Amino acid sequence: MKGKLIVLSGPGGVGKSTISKELRKDDRFLVSVSYTTRKARENEFEGSDYHFINEREFDELIAKNAFLEYAEFAGSKYGTPRNSVESALKSGKHVLLEIEITGARQVRERFPSAILVFLMPPSWAELKARISARGTDHPERIAARLELAQSEMAAAVEFDHTLINHRVDEVVNGLVALATAVE
Ligand code: 5GP
């Protein structure tokens, strides 16, 4: 494999998807597009944010061993397509997977050379504010998301690197530096 496999993980609400959107503009990188059984949100598009599929299709992909990793999160399933990631790495591209923590653990086992990056909020107060600001969520849903975020934060120690999300461009530069560093 010529390219580097980078996993970007961190608590829900920390801003991972903003970072991966920004990194999509860099053609040294492939930002993997996951499959999910979740319904598309209003501002999301098939094939660029996710491949939106149903449970049966998801199970078929599991049976075909088409996922490099997959996990369930908040009642929906998410999986990383194996083929596009492997062929990008072979062609010398760096690949970014923006995934939750149990998926990151699976990648670590299957690709020991993967670089695992944990994205931290500048503070717990800031993460709380971001999660609470999602106008569409009910108070119980916000409480559940905060509880989940707290347990996700505890996984940071398992990661190779931690980046603090002060500014999008700083995080993007940090990821580029990790991918392009000479060993
Ligand atoms: P959302 O539904 O908000 O887009 O994503 C929910 C969580 O699923 C986020 O933490 C996101 O990083 C994660 N996720 C997205 N795609 C994948 C994937 O392919 N595999 C895993 N394990 N998690 C994913």
Q: By CB neighbour count within 10 A (0-12 exposed, 13-18 middle, 19+ buried), where does 80 fall?
A: buried
Q: How far apart are CA 144 and CA 8, in angstroms?
A: 22
Q: Residue ranges of the domains in the chain? A: 5-180
pLDDT score of 5: 98
Provide the whole-model pTM: 0.95
Span 25-54, mean pLDDT?
96
Question: Phi then psi for 59, rounded to 5 degrees?
Answer: -65, -35
Q: Strand 51-52's sheet: what is its strand order?
A: 51-52, 35-36, 76-81, 67-73
Cα 79 to middle of ligand 1, angstroms: 8
Evaluate: CB of 32 within 6 angstroms of ligand 1. Answer: no
CA-based nearest residue to 103, from 8, 20, 3, 32? 8
Evaluate: CB of 152 within 6 angstroms of ligand 1. Answer: no
Average per-residue pLDDT in the chain?
Answer: 94
Evaluate: CB of 52 within 6 angstroms of ligand 1. Answer: no
Q: Give the Cβ contact number of residue 108 at 10 Å.
A: 17
Fold entry, domain 5-180 = Rossmann fold (3.40.50)
The 3-class secondary structure across 66-130, one letter per residue, is CEEEEEEECCEEEEEEHHHHHHHHHCCCEEEEECCHHHHHHHHHHCCCCEEEEEECCCHHHHHHH
Is residue 92 pLDDT above 70, yes or no?
Answer: yes
Dmax over Cα atoms in the chain, in whole Å? 47
Return the CA Rg of the chain. Answer: 16
Q: Atom 14, ligand 1: which residue's CA is nearest?
A: 99
> 129: which 2 tokens?
């504010």
Q: Atom 19, ligand 1: which residue's CA is nearest?
A: 79
Q: How far apart are CA 59 and CA 11, in angstroms?
A: 26
Mutate to test the pocket of ligand 1, among 34, 44, 102 (most ligand atoms within 8 A of CB): 34
Is residue 183 pLDDT above 90, yes or no?
Answer: no
Is residue 83 pLDDT above 70, yes or no?
Answer: yes
Is residue 1 pLDDT above 70, yes or no?
Answer: no
